[in-house]
Amino acid sequence: MANEKQIKLNTVFVGARGVQEYRQSITTWVRPDDVVLEIGCEWKRSCLKS
C-alpha cells in the first residue's frame, strides 16, 4: 500500500509577465525531464470574455 511520501509530487508554480520574462524563467525552473503545463492569455483577449 502506498503512503503519502511515495506519491508526493514536487509541483512548482511559476508566474511570468510577458514573453521575455517567461523565456528567461525556463532555464531556471524547467529541467529536461519535467512536464510543463502552460496557461496563458495573449493580449487578454480570451481571458476577459464572459
Question: Could you read off the pLDDT of 1-50 as tens digits, one per residue?
Answer: 667 667 677 788 888 888 889 899 999 999 999 888 888 776 665 555 54
User: What would the grid cell of residue 15 be?
Assistant: 508566474
Residue 13 maps to a domain: yes
Residue 49 maps to a domain: no
Quick check: helix, strand or coil at residue 20? helix
Domain span at 26: 4-44
Residue 26 maps to a domain: yes
Sign of the CA dihedral with 13 first, then 37, 10, and 22 last: negative
Distance, CA of 4 to CA of 12 (rounded, Å): 18
Yes or no: say if 3 and 12 are a contact pair by the CB < 8 Å rule: no
Note the pTM of the prediction, 2 decimals: 0.54
Residue 50 maps to a domain: no
Number of domains in the chain: 1
Distance, CA of 15 to CA of 27 (rounded, Å): 14
